[in-house]
Amino acid sequence: MIKPRIQEAINRQINAEFYSNYLYLSMSAWMESKGLSGMARWLLAHYEEEAGHAIRFVNYLNERGGRVLLDTIDAPPTDWDSPINVFKDALEHEYKVTSMINDLVDIALEERDHAASTFLQWFINEQVEEESTFKEIVDKFELGQEHPGFLYMLDKELGERQTVSIANIADNQ
């Protein structure tokens, strides 16, 4: 049986993952409204990935005999002044998520829940990847944005990201 403090912390993280999911959907819709369908597609794939993160936590809580208690999801921003600022906001958001995952590991260790701490290692590694992915895109914008055709080329490149069915995401990421 999982301790109440861990259950509460995981439920908070489920909410945060669904907020991330909502945020990337909002960003994707904004890109689509600006005619940047490749970036919209990339962000939509990321929206799916966040749902996968939430489902991983849901499955884990169920497996440990805990209760999944879903809460209200805050509304995400809906407007940005440029495509680069969408990705800069996403990178800042991922830094926050990393800090939340670190706090979760601290709680697991304080509660001597080594199973939860092992489970959370996947998310520690995932956050390294998430930060690096968004940083790479922000760097590309900063290096290339002065060049004519840059936005078109980056939109085309990001549009090649494959989307995955949410039902398979939690197991296959």
Sign of dihedral through CA atoms 85, 80, 125, 97?
positive
Interface positions with ligand FEO (CB under 6 A): 17, 20, 50, 53, 94, 97, 130
Where helices occur in the chain by DSSP H, the ranges are 4-33, 37-63, 83-110, 114-144, 150-158, 166-172
Would you say 92 or 110 has its CB closer to ligand FEO?
Answer: 92
Would you say 33 or 125 has its CB closer to ligand FEO?
Answer: 125
- Nearest approach, Cβ of residue 155 and ligand FEO (Å): 21
- Nearest approach, Cβ of residue 78 and ligand FEO (Å): 19
In contact, 127 and 10? CB cutoff 8 Å: no
- Nearest approach, Cβ of residue 121 and ligand FEO (Å): 15
Compute the C-alpha angle 61/70/3, nearest 5°.
35
Residue closest to ligand FEO (Cβ): 53
- Nearest approach, Cβ of residue 134 and ligand FEO (Å): 9
In contact, 16 and 133? CB cutoff 8 Å: no
Would you say 131 or 157 has its CB closer to ligand FEO?
Answer: 131
